[in-house]
Chain A
Amino acid sequence: MNLHDFALYLFAMAGVTYLLRTIPFILLKKQLKSEFWNSFLAYIPYTVLAAMTVPAIFHATNNRISGIAAFIAAVAASLLGRGLVVVACAATAAVLFVDGVIL
């Protein structure tokens, strides 16, 4: 990617994100009342993260088996109530184990 394209992407990303934070912060003084839209916005972070993670994680490494191992390790660690960093380490260790030791 050349620098010109990157600059356009960056401007779009940062610009939209900044305006989303700033415009309502300056203009609106009322709480959003609609239960529907409040619910929609409450679900959005989780559905976005889920859609970005699956199935991309299966194909993020050199072979599918280590990607699937990372997914299983991360879900298992999360179900056991571990925090962000431990879960990330579990996923990383699973890939290292499968790619480095088994294959």
Chain B
Amino acid sequence: MKFSKGVIDGLPIGIGYLAVSFSFGIAGSKTLSWPLVTLISMTNLTSAGQFAGLQIMQAAGTLIEMIIAMFFINLRYSLMAISLSQKVTPSFGTLQRLLLSIGITDEIYAVAIGSKEKVNPLYFLGLTVLPYLGWSTGTLCGAIAGEILPAILTNALGVALYGMFIAIVVPPMKAHKPTSIAVAIAVALSCAFYYVPVLQNVSAGFAIIICAVVASLLCAKFFPIKKNAEANS
């Protein structure tokens, strides 16, 4: 499989990333200057993780909190990396893996794992190029827009990222009832951390970790997902 085929396959992902990262840029511009917000996107390439990281920075959380939050939120990439390692050609050596592993995102993984042939390094590089550029330039544009647009607009655009999160979460809730239960538990806990006075002392980062881990553990225990019916992740 060629580099050029990877680039073509990556195009729709890159376009999709533009919009999400634009919203991330807007959100980030409230706390950080545009070069710093862009730097986060260029080094992380992950939506939920970056947004949680931003919330921890805003709340001036500890580094331990940041590390634990990133660990749980991005742990799914480890699973994808394990699965992808079964699907690559022998030419995908250790050096190539060290350099290209940043491309393991939900969407790039999904395309790579869905391809009929084994994945070679050049194809995977091609697949990563446009999503990476889309993610970085989208953030850059959003962060600059956040600094120059009037407050009423950035205020309104600030909810765009939440809107996208809702658009990601609602379809699997409709299709798979246990996912609805998991989401309901996470939301109930999250509201408790926000509104119950004693729990408000728990920092934002740890609150997210606890909500997500508890809800996911409970549902994994009571509603395990069969391998072939696995929720799209």
Tell me if B101 counts as interface (CB < 8 A to partner A).
Answer: yes
| A29, B191: Cα distance in complex, Å | 40
Is B219 in contact with A39, judged by CB distance below 8 angstroms?
Answer: yes
Main secondary structure of the interface of B (DSSP, over half): helix
18 pairs, A vs B, C-beta closer than 8 Å: A9-B66, A20-B81, A21-B101, A25-B85, A31-B83, A38-B225, A38-B227, A43-B178, A46-B182, A46-B186, A50-B190, A51-B187, A55-B195, A60-B159, A81-B171, A88-B160, A88-B167, A91-B160
Tell me if B36 counts as interface (CB < 8 A to partner A).
Answer: yes
Interface size for A (C-beta < 8 A) is 77
Residues of A near B83 (CB, < 8 A) are 31
Query: Which residues of A (1-60) have their CB < 8 Å from a CB of B?
Result: 1, 6, 8-10, 12-14, 16-18, 20-26, 28-32, 35-57, 60
- Known interface pairs A29-B85, A41-B76; A85-B19 also in contact (CB < 8 Å): yes
Tell me if B122 counts as interface (CB < 8 A to partner A).
Answer: no
Interface of A toward B, CB cutoff 8 Å = 1, 6, 8-10, 12-14, 16-18, 20-26, 28-32, 35-57, 60-62, 66-67, 70-71, 73-75, 77-79, 81-96, 99-100
Is B48 in contact with A45, judged by CB distance below 8 angstroms?
Answer: yes
Of A8, A20, A46, A96, which is within 8 A of B63 by CB? A8
